[in-house]
Amino acid sequence: MKQMPKQFQTLFWDVNITSFNPHEYPRYTICRILELGDKEAFTWMKENFSESQIEEVLKTETRLSRKSANFWAIIFGVPFHQVAALNHVQED
């Protein structure tokens, strides 16, 4: 597993990027990139996590915005009814 690139510090402002091991926190890392990442972050994520890990985050993570969840469901071919953020009632 590659180290987290320093240019992703803006995505992971709440951790020490130099000591953060994304492999220890795959759900957190994938979710943050799906929600806030750019093309470069997405490419890095795909190189470091399996498609099944990414799909599992889509199916279980309710913290993704509906907009992001919808986009990534289309990209990864995950049926909308299986995407947690699209089927979770968010409180105001």
Instruction: Determine the Cα–Cα distance for residues 31 and 49; give it in Å rounded to an integer.
Output: 12
pLDDT of residue 32 exceeding 80, the answer is yes
User: Average pLDDT of the chain?
Assistant: 92
C-alpha 9: how far from its chain's center? 15
Confidence band of 3 (pLDDT split at 50, 70, 90): confident
Closest to 37 measured CA to CA, from 24, 54, 53, 62: 54
pTM: 0.90
DSSP output for 7-57: GGTTT-TTS-TTT--GGG-HHHHHHHHHHH--HHHHHHHHHHS-HHHHHHH
Instruction: Determine the Cα–Cα distance for residues 47 and 90; give it in Å rounded to an integer.
Output: 32
Taking the CA atoms of 61, 42, 46 and 32 in sequence, report the sign of the dihedral they define. Answer: negative
pLDDT of residue 73 exceeding 60, the answer is yes
pLDDT of residue 57: 98
